Amino acid sequence: MSTTTHLAARYHRAGDVHADQVERRAPGAGEVEIAPLFTGICGTDLHIAAGHMDARVSTPAVIGHETVGTVSALGAGVSGWSVGDLVTVVPLRPDDTCATCRNGFSHVCDHLDFLGIDSPGALAEHWVVPEHTLVRVPDGTDPQDAALLEPTSVAVHDVRRSRLQAGEFAAVVGGGPVGLLIALVARRTGAEVVLSEPDATRRALAAALGLDVVDPLTQDLSALTRERTGGAGAAVAFEVSGSAPGLTSAIGALAVRGRLCLVGIHAAPREIDLHPFFWRELELLGARLYERGDVEEAVRLVAAGDLPVASLVSHVLPLSRVDEAFAALAEGGAVKVLVDCRAAEVEA
């Protein structure tokens, strides 16, 4: 390699994420170095930046995991990949030995190493990852679109987990990037979809994407779903807000034997009314991360232009200004913020 350092964004302490020069590591056996093109900032990254995950994240930590890049170097024993290949990364390194992995659920491994949280991530000019994490992205795919493959994979997994079928009615509570993507993927299944979101900017974006959207501060989601379904309610509700009111709203929107797909992270314990689960025979389904097949389906949808992911991108800032990128998302009003990780000479 021609240089021994490269630019990377590191979390140092609560409120301090900035880019500086760090050591560039060569890929070892079975590893691949990629040069990220664009890396998205997600809610988990914001939690890290706020200091909420200090018990898990060692500092200083290179963070970020929503990325698209090109292969820039191959470690020993790697085959099937060439320098210049366009790829995304499934940022999950399971131990492959625990009971969960043995039962076929390695994406929620008992000792999962989530790249960009538990180990170095993608907000950098170069990123070394295990060969098995790579997924090929078709040539000609817009790299900014491909930067949304990871959250799209979340949406694909959530819709699949919910068992949503064509002709069913689905309510999505929370209109951030993942909520919007869930609504778009759900609509592609042939379901009727309504999205509930209190933020006016996000509601306007949802409406521009052709989604049916309501303001939960002025409209009753439960009443609306029953009006649209002849009094039945939604077959599926996706709770994506991570808020107590959102959880209550999602449960209230469900039909008898409806399925609540819990997507949002509820960091604090919630007090919820379990009586509707008994009385209406509801199901609660947890949905965490994604499996490789979900990522491959996301690649297919995005590369084919079947999802308008570009509309979700509100800010693109260079890696050298990553602190501003985090601030833009934390201040509100932004939807998806991307960081341009290309080397300075490429940006120029």
Catalytic residue among 6, 39, 44, 141: 44
Burial of 246-258, coded b for 16+ CB within 10 Å and e otherwise, reads bbbbbbbbbbeeb
Question: What is the torsional sign of CA 110, 43, 145, 164?
Answer: positive
- 3 noted as active-site residue: no
- 44 noted as active-site residue: yes
Active site residues: 44, 47
